[in-house]
Each structure stands twice: as C-alpha cells, then as structure tokens.
Chain A
C-alpha cells in the first residue's frame, strides 16, 4: 500500500509540471506579458521611473529572460530542493547555494504580499463552502438516486430525473442574480445579506447567540456566518445533484438485478436491507471514484459563487489574480487546485481499495 501511495505521489509530479507549464506559457505568450497590467497601472510614473520599475521587475522575476528560463526560475522557487536565494539590500534575488530549502510560492505583484499568505487566508473559506456543500449534495443525490432506481419508471423516478436535470441546467449566475435580487435586496425582500461571509460588525460579536445585558437579542458570530452562507451554499448545491443522482441510479439499477441480491432475497433478507445492505453497498463502489472527479467542478463552481457573493475565497482570489495578470498568484492557484484534485483522486482510489475487498494495491 505504501509503495503504491509513493508511486502515485511521484506520478503527480509530471502532471503538476504540465499543469503549471500550460498556465505559465498561456500567460507568458499573451500580448502584454505577465506584468503588463502592473506596468500600465503605474501610468502616473514618468518614463524614467517606468524604466527603473521595468528593470526592477526584470531583475526580480527575470522577465527579460527566455520563457523557459523564467519557468525554470519559478520551478526552482517552489521546489523544496534547489538553489537557495536571498534578497539583497536592493530587493533583488541572489543565489546563495544548492540544497534543501523552504518552498516559496512567490509574491503577489498586485497585492505585494506573499502568495502563500493570500491562499492561506482564502483556501479555508473555499474549503468551508465545499465542506458544507459536499455532504448535502451526497445525501440528496444518494437518496434520490437509490429510490429512483428502486421505483424505476414510476413517478418518483421520472420526477427526480427531470427535476434534477432542470436544476442542473439553471445557470449558477442566473440563480445567484435572482437570489440576490429577490431575497437580498431592499427593493424586494431583505432576508439575506448580499455578500461576504460575515457582517462588518461580526468581529465584536459573541460566538454563540445570546441576549445582551439590555435584553436585546444578538445573533452572534456563528449564526451570522451561517446566515451569510445560506445563499452561496444554495447556489453551490442545487446544480450538483443531477450527475451524482443519475450515476447512483444507474449503479443501483445494475446491482439491484445482480444475482447476489437475488441470493439475499432468497435468504429472507427484508427489502430495505436488500436495497441498502446489498444493492447500495455494491453500487457505491463505482461512485467513490466519481466523488473525486467532481472536485474540479466544485472548485470551479465555488469560483462563480464566490464572485457573485463577493466571498474572499480561493476562487475569487484566483479570478482577481487573473484579471490583474498576477503571475505568481495565478500559478499558485493552478498548483493548489491541481494538488487538491490529484490528492482527492488518490484518496478516492485508496478508499476504493478499502471498500472493495477484490481490489488491492499490494
């Protein structure tokens, strides 16, 4: 098992190289280059200052070097094994020697902060959104899929099939706009906040709901957070059932007519237990792999939702970085989402081996 995991982890390296290379070269080949926005944003500077700034960027990030060289520099920077560099008193990097070092995701052009710090703040937000979304999606998809298979061809099957397909077809941008427009707007209903994850005064709230000394009710930090999460989570959740539910249904249909299910019935196992203990237990196996496959979709989905509800998560950070052509930030975004996806796929494969006694990686 361990050798298998190590082998898989090593196989991730070329994939990650590919991912970052694709993103890097797309950015580098675009007209204006990576620092384009940054340079034009400093429009007030006179020519001399401009030239100095450009010289600094070139020296700092090697922007005047060939692309492959720039990419090599970036790889060296993020690699745990490579040439150490230190900034000299002018803020320019100097190589000090070869060996193990702390990987460095670089610095954000546009925010002038370490990329790692920025993602360190943004990643938990996105993970929180998905941590709430994924269980809801799974519970509803599994229930609807299993019962759709159980009542194949009946109204429940047809209704969930069409209904979930319709939900899946609703563009998230539309749902977001409608929810904000009708439920979070003074013109109609002001039930929910328009965006963000907390009210501005949330910092001063108690964690749990409580009554203040003067007897007024305070909703507290936790409830405030949940209140802000309702609409984004709705947006993330509603469209994700269809695919999983459909797969679940197909998988259960496959197992429900399997011979071991007939054997179980012939033993006198009650119907519910046949369905959940025998048919569903086996039907779940192919879905373990699928579970990891939807991770990129969820990350993409939270990008849209974070944008619409102005939540400062990883998606919004990446989006802002793309708009600002912030090279290191964009590359780190691709790197992190790639690693998350690949690790999830690996975990799913390991779970599969645990769930299916026929599979072993030894």
Chain B
C-alpha cells in the first residue's frame, strides 16, 4: 500500500505553458511501481517459474538430471552388498564404479551446497569455486577410481544360482546398461515385465537401464554443445557488432555460409568423415556447437549495432569513454536473458541432433543413447518392437519438450510486448 501511495504522489504537471505538457501516462505512473525492488533477471526468473509449462518442464528435467547423476545406484548388474559362500561381505558395486559415477554426485552435491548454502557470497566467486572443484574432483576421481577393465556382468547372477553367493542386495534395476545377459539363452527382445520394467533391447540389454544411463549423454550433449555454440556465437557476433564495417561484412558472410547449408548436412559431413572411437561423444558435442552458433552471432551483432546507435552511447563517446566499456557494461547484462531463450531452444535441438546421429548409426558405439535405442525399434525384415520405439522416443520427446517449454516461458517473460499485452 505504501508503495502505491508513493507513486501517486508524483508531482502533477508544473510546466504547462500554453499546452498541457502531459506528465507520464497516469496508468503507467500509478501501476508500474514494483512492490519490492527486484533485479531484472530476478524478475525474469520469477515470471518464468510462475508459468506452469516451465514448472512442468523443470520437474521433468530435474528427474532426468537426478537419474543421470544416480544412474549407477538405480541400474547396475553388480550387487551393492553381497555375502559369499565363504562368509566374506563385499561390494562389487563399489568396485565397478567408474570415475564419472563418483565425480558426478560429488559435483552436484557441491553445486547444491554452493547455490543454497552460501547466500551472501557473490555468484562470480561461487562459479570460480565450482570450476576449481570440478577440475579437482574429475581429476581426482580418474586418479583414484579405477574399475576393472573388463566387466563380467553375469558372474554374480551365475554365482547366486550356483550357491557361491549366499545373498546379494541389488539396485532397483539389477542390470547394467551394457549387460547383454549372456547367461540367459539368446532370445527375442522381451516385452516389459517385472524383471525388465521397460523390456529388453535387441541386444538383450535391459532397456530401462540403458535409458537411465543415457540421461547423462542427453543432458551433457545439450548443455555442452549449446555452451560451445553460445561462446562462439557471442564472440563472433560481438566482434562484428563492435568493429562493424569490414569485420561485420566478413562475419556476416561467414554466418550466411553456415546458414545456407542445412545444419544437418554440415553436421553429417563433419561427423561421418571422422572415425568413431571413445571420443566420439565429445566430438559430436563440439561439432553440434560448431554448426549452430550463427543464431547467437546474429543476435549479439544486432544488439551491439543497435546499441551503438543509441544516444546515450554516442553521449558516452562524446565524454571520451571507450565504446568497449559502454557496450560490455550495458549490452552483456541485458543480452543475457534473450541468449538464454535461444539457448534453451538450442539445447532442445542439440538433443535432437544427437538423437538423429545415433539413430542413423553415426553416434556412439557402445554407450547408451536414446537415439541409438530408438534405431533398434524397426529391425531388419521389418520387425517392429513397440517398447523400444515408445520409451526412448518418449524420453527424447519429453526432454526436448521440457526445454522448449522453458524457452517459451522465458521468451514470454522477457518480451516487453507480451508483458504489455498481458497487462493491458
């Protein structure tokens, strides 16, 4: 209440000479005063989360992220704890943990502590701490954690049946993603059942397990590929907008080149001409980033060029301030939100791109990926396995939809036109 009365006290026109020089629109004056001072980005975040679509999308992505982080704890062929016939207790699960399986939960825990734990520390400091910690944790886990090179998944099932193992506690899904169930007779892919909640794949692996472990790749591809695209795009666009003239002309030709060929052609050419090995995943991320930066470049360039023309920039120039300080001080903070919108659509299309590459067999070789699973749905001779078609496809769809929903809400939240429209 106090706020609204304060806004009402705004002085009536005092400089009416002949014509009534109208004060600011009464409506605007009266109503636009926010209840509490709130930062621009804070407001954007609040309005975004306020939308149901974004909330649902966020919940789904949270679920996928949780599955990605705790994948080994949910689906693994190795018993968490077991007692051998000779009476010794052991945990093959711990033994077979890979470095990433250890590093991820540690880092996510750290991130949560940093975000919610220290409210007063600045974001920059937190980022720095997190970056350093990431290096230490990943490096440390690769040094300290060394699982056996060859995993024999069926040992424990066979041992249990033969009585070599007295009892064993398993993860909820007792199959690792690469466990091809070699101890069982080779059969047709099995439909969903209690042992295999989502059925098995054509390679006899557990579909649910593979899908859960594939969450990591889906999320990582989206984030890293888009991150690369944003960095390249903002850098190139910034250079074009900052230097303009010749640099701009050259830059725009470059953008045009990348936009005139369908992204998929370029992506395929890049990926197909390089061999597949254990680095393919990283290679794919980089390539997706390399072919999808043009949108960010266009946007940043336009924003910089627009800003250059503004009177206050010209004024700072007249004051002798370098253009650079104005552009980077005013442009970058304001440009973050629109870049986030494009980025969240970008993540969605990066996930789609990876799924397609894996689908046509240009993706990962053995690591699980939703697209690669989907490609098994229609097999040779036209046999169609519905559960392999439905579940991985649904996972891709929901994740892409979640990112699109969030992007859409973000766009509505920062778009002054829709804001005005919803209020008018």
Contacts and interface: CB of A to CB of B under 8 A. Distances in A.
A299 B275 CA distance: 26
B389 interface: yes
A254 B417 contact: yes
A340 to B, nearest CB: 9
Nearest to A330: B269
Contacts of B260: 15, 19, 296, 337-338, 341-342
A26 interface: yes
Interface string B48-87: 0000010000000000000000000000000000000000
Interface stretch (A65-73, A128-136, A203-211, A316-324): A316-324
Given A173-B355, A174-B397, A296-B259, A165 B269 contact: no
A304 B264 contact: yes
Most A CB within 10 A of own CB, among B254, B371, B400: B400
B273 A338 contact: no
A342 to B, nearest CB: 6
A337 B262 contact: yes
Interface residues of B, number: 50
A110 to B, nearest CB: 13
B401 A318 contact: no
A171 B262 contact: no
B257 A19 contact: yes
A319 B404 contact: no
Contacts of A300: 262-265
Contacts of B401: 165-166, 169
B369 to A, nearest CB: 12
Nearest to B402: A169
Contacts of A15: 253, 256-257, 260
- Interface band, chain A: 35 or more
A30 B273 contact: yes
A170 B421 CA distance: 30
Interface string A301-344: 00110010000000000110011010000100110011001100
A174 B266 contact: no
Most A CB within 10 A of own CB, among B274, B355, B378: B378
A303 to B, nearest CB: 6
Contacts of A182: 384, 386
Nearest to A254: B417
B17 interface: no
B377 A185 contact: no
Given A169-B348, A325-B273, A177 B389 contact: yes
Contact of B261 (A19, A170, A177): A19
Interface string B368-387: 00010011011000111010
Contacts of B378: 177, 180-181
Interface in A28-61: 30-32
Contact of A171 (B257, B393, B405): B393
A333 B269 CA distance: 11
Interface in A119-172: 152-153, 161-162, 165-166, 168-172
B389 A178 contact: yes
Contact of A187 (B259, B360, B384): B384
B352 A171 contact: yes
A236 B62 CA distance: 31
Interface of A is mostly: helix
Contact of A18 (B253, B393, B417): B253
A168 B360 contact: no
A27 interface: yes
A296 B262 contact: yes
B396 interface: yes
Contacts of B348: 169
Contacts of A342: 260
A308 B92 CA distance: 42
B270 interface: yes
B167 interface: no
A14 interface: yes
A304 B362 CA distance: 13
B266 A22 contact: yes
A165 B272 CA distance: 31
B389 A181 contact: yes
A303 B393 contact: no
Nearest to B399: A169
B372 to A, nearest CB: 11
Contacts of A162: 53
Given A15-B256, A169-B400, A303 B384 contact: no
Contact of A23 (B263, B269, B377): B269
A322 B263 contact: no
A342 B253 CA distance: 12
Given A296-B260, A303-B264, A165 B393 contact: no
B230 to A, nearest CB: 20
A323 B272 contact: yes
Given A19-B260, A171-B352, A186 B422 contact: no
Contacts of B352: 171
B130 interface: no
B269 A31 contact: no
Given A22-B257, A165-B408, A299-B262, A171 B400 contact: yes
Contacts of A250: 417
Interface string B240-260: 000000000000011011111
A178 B388 CA distance: 10
B386 A181 contact: yes
Interface of B: 53, 253-254, 256-266, 268-270, 272-275, 348, 352, 355-356, 359-360, 371, 374-375, 377-378, 382-384, 386, 389-390, 393-394, 396-397, 400-401, 404-405, 408, 417, 421-422
Ranked 10 nearest A-B pairs via Cβ: A174-B393, A30-B273, A300-B262, A169-B401, A300-B264, A18-B257, A181-B384, A169-B400, A296-B262, A338-B260
7 contacts: A165-B401, A165-B404, A171-B396, A174-B394, A177-B378, A333-B265, A338-B260
Given A173-B355, A296-B261, A322-B272, 18 more contacts: A19-B261, A22-B266, A30-B273, A31-B274, A165-B404, A169-B401, A171-B352, A172-B356, A174-B397, A177-B377, A181-B384, A181-B389, A185-B384, A303-B262, A322-B268, A334-B265, A337-B261, A337-B265
